[in-house]
Amino acid sequence: MIHILTREFLDSFKSVRSILIILFITFVSYQSATFIDSNPGLIQEIVKIGGEEGTVYTAAIALIVLILGFLFVFATSHDLINKEIELKTMRLLVTKTSRMQIVVGKFLGTLLFWLATITISFAVIFIISGSWFLKDYFHSFVFLFYIVSFVVLVSTIFTKSKLTMFLGILFGIALPILGLASAVSNKWYLVPFKYFLPYRYLEGSNGLMLIPIAIGLIYLLIAVFIMQRKDL
């Protein structure tokens, strides 16, 4: 599993899309943090109305993860599992390790890539602000944990990479809209999205952030279950 994890993590950095996404997130983080740091009065005004200093500095990263997170992860990893099946390389992998370890290894490798991506951005903010905003960093990690788990599940269910690419675009646009709408609305048809998507849990205590992790683990277990019974 370690070999699969390492390969997936390193291969993620070889993609042009991944490099562009890293550069985009880092650039936006740098520009927003520089702007905030040069306007201390803005920080004071936001703190006065009940905001937190960390939220001001990390707002750009939060918006990128919340709004573009699904789209970005699907763009780089929509074929995480089904690519191996299409190329017949999965048959070779299962002779060396278990199917569960393949799924978990690919999940962890992809998650570590995204953790490295946001760590770079938070490091840039740390250099500028002199503070590491742990709460916001944890929230970003939990959100990405959920997204990567969901992407692994979708890539396991659907065996065609072209289909998961299409679904990735669809989910990447629709889920943030539904998630944010359900977090502020009590419409009955939005209730399922309120509880199954991670957006509403960001508003509560850190304890509530365990719920998206639990849901993500369920997605991962379902993916493993499907993989165990999939005809390769």
| Domain range summary for the chain, segments of one domain joined by + | 2-229
Tens digits of residue pLDDT in 44-58: 666 666 556 566 778
What contacts 30, CB < 8 A, 6 or more positions away? 124, 128
Share of the chain above pLDDT 90, in %: 46
205 CB burial (10 A radius; 0-12, 13-18, 19+)? exposed
pTM greater than the 0.75 cutoff? yes
Tens digits of residue pLDDT in 141-187: 999 999 999 999 999 999 888 999 999 999 999 999 999 998 888 88
- Residues 202, 139: contact at Cβ < 8 Å? yes
Cα atoms in the Cβ-side hemisphere of radius 13 Å centred on 93 = 24
How far is residue 4 CA from its own chain's centroid?
19
d(CA 201, CA 37): 29
